[in-house]
């Protein structure tokens, strides 16, 4: 199982939101490139980056910060936020992003997402963000009635590399990852799932590991606030994940 340290970008800085609320942000580092280097130096071999302003604006906003991260380290970067058309997908892949995460597009432009999966094999992930089990889009500002598992099933066989599944109600508040919902989704479809939202300690990684051992296709976990505030030691996290 892979560990993805999170770098969430708001106004050019690394922040963590509480439950996706843009007006409830804590700034942890005003130099995203330095944060990327620190994560790489700690032994992490991949990063999860989100352009939060872009997610609300529907277009890239923190492009300069993303490019600084790409220039600062050689580890693969997975990027989401504000990617709403194929031209933007192509732009980021051409600039060195290893994988893009498409969330709002998966709901509103599913045919384009399928086209992207076919055009860039292994480089497109689905972002499924849920509040109360229902999918939210547009930077989590809009929650509809579509169940997360139903959205995932619509992309079976499309060639998506992964599903990044976020429990919005737990995101950024250290409430513990929603192991049950993550495992249920990972068993409902054949697409590997990356868990996100609420990771508070190594015990969350161990709990996900148990689901992997039981057959759930959980491929990784995104860790944010718990790394920034020292609740999770990077070496311990990597050791726990290596046992998966």
233 is an active site residue: no
Set 11, 51, 129, 213: catalytic member: 129
Q: From 116, 122, 127, 121, select the one nearest 91 (Cα to Cα).
A: 116
Q: Are 135 and 129 in contact (CB under 8 A)?
A: yes
H/E stretch holding 162 reads strand 162-167
Evaluate whether 124 touches 161 at the Cβ level (below 8 Å). yes
- Give the list of residues 6+ apart from residue 198 with CB closer than 8 angstroms, or none: 167, 170, 171, 172, 173, 174, 175, 176, 177, 178, 204
Greatest extent of the chain over all pairs of C-alpha atoms, in Å:
42
Burial class (CB in 10 A: 0-12, 13-18, 19+), 135: buried
SS3 of residue 24 by DSSP: strand
Q: Inter-axis angle of helices 202-213 and 179-188, to 10 degrees?
A: 30
> Could you report how far apart the first and last alpha carbons of the chain are, in Å?
5
Which candidate in 8, 167, 171, 219 is catalytic? 8
Q: How far apart are CA 113 and CA 111, in angstroms?
A: 5
Active site includes 129?
yes
Residue with tokens 């950024």: 172
Q: Indicate which residues carry an active-site annotation.
A: 8, 129
């Amino acid at each position: 199982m892979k560990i993805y340290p999170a770098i969430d970008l708001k106004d050019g800085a690394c922040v963590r939101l509480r439950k996706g609320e843009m007006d409830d942000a804590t700034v942890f580092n005003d130099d995203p490139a330095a944060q990327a280097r620190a994560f790489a130096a700690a032994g992490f071999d991949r990063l999860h980056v989100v352009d939060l302003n872009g997610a609300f604006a529907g277009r890239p906003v923190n492009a300069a910060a993303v490019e600084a991260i790409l220039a600062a380290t050689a580890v693969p970067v997975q990027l989401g936020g504000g990617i709403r058309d194929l031209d933007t997908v192509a732009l980021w892949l051409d600039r060195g992003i290893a994988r893009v995460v498409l969330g709002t597009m998966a709901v509103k432009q599913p045919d384009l997402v399928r086209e992207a999966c076919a055009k860039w094999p292994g480089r497109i992930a689905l972002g499924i963000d849920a509040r109360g089990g229902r999918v939210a889009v547009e930077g989590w500002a809009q929650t509809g009635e579509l169940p997360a598992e139903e959205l995932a099933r619509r992309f079976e066989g499309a060639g998506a590399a992964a599903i990044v599944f976020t429990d919005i109600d737990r995101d950024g508040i250290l409430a513990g990852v929603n192991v049950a919902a993550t495992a249920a989704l990972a068993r409902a479809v054949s697409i590997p799932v990356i868990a996100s939202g609420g990771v508070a300690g190594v015990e969350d990684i161990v709990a996900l590991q148990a689901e992997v051992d039981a057959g759930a296709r959980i491929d990784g976990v995104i860790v944010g606030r718990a790394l920034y505030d020292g609740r999770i030691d990077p070496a311990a996290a990597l050791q726990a994940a290596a046992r998966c």
